[in-house]
């Protein structure tokens, strides 16, 4: 092997080693918080807000009574959500004004996600992580 070829091979090996070490360091630094990101059910309950039952009119001359559990990312965010319940009620009315009972029954997950996404626009500190319908009566 010539001296020039040896230098090229050695340079490539050194570069691969440096890139590999950088990748390992990056993964170790970013992976150390993975275990801390797990939120227990107790933490979720502590950071959640249960609404009162809310009555809404549907477009097919029926009405629905809904109750929600709103999960936030912290107790402070839950406190902010309690203050913003009037905005949530307004949003609920706007979202359901053109809905009929069949539409409300068809895709609850998408409905919950829409409410969560639109409510997060109002939130200043923290965010709503989930909204669950915990009671639903349609008459």
Summarize the confidence of residues 110-133 as an average pLDDT.
94
Q: Directed axis angle between helix 108-122 and helix 85-96, to 10°?
A: 140
Q: Is the dihedral of CA 68, 35, 79, 118 positive or negative?
A: negative
> Could you tell me the sign of the dihedral formed by the alpha carbons of 20, 23, 25, 31, in that order?
negative
Per-residue pLDDT, 36: 55
pTM for this prediction: 0.70
pLDDT tens-digit map of 69-113: 999 999 999 999 999 999 999 999 999 999 999 998 888 999 999
Integer Cα distance of 45 and 70 in angstroms? 9
């Amino acid at each position: 092997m010539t001296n020039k070829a040896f230098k090229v091979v050695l340079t490539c090996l050194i570069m691969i080693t440096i890139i590999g070490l950088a990748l390992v360091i990056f993964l170790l630094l970013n992976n150390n918080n993975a275990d801390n990101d797990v939120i227990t059910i107790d933490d979720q309950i502590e950071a959640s807000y249960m609404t009162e039952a809310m009555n809404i009119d549907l477009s097919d001359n029926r009405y629905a009574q809904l109750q929600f559990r709103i999960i936030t990312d912290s107790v402070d965010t839950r406190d902010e959500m309690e203050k913003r319940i009037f905005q949530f009620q307004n949003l609920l009315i706007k979202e359901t004004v053109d809905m009929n009972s069949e539409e409300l029954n068809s895709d609850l997950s998408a409905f919950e996600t829409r409410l969560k996404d639109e409510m997060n626009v109002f939130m200043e500190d923290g965010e709503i992580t989930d909204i669950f319908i915990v009671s639903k009566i349609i008459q």
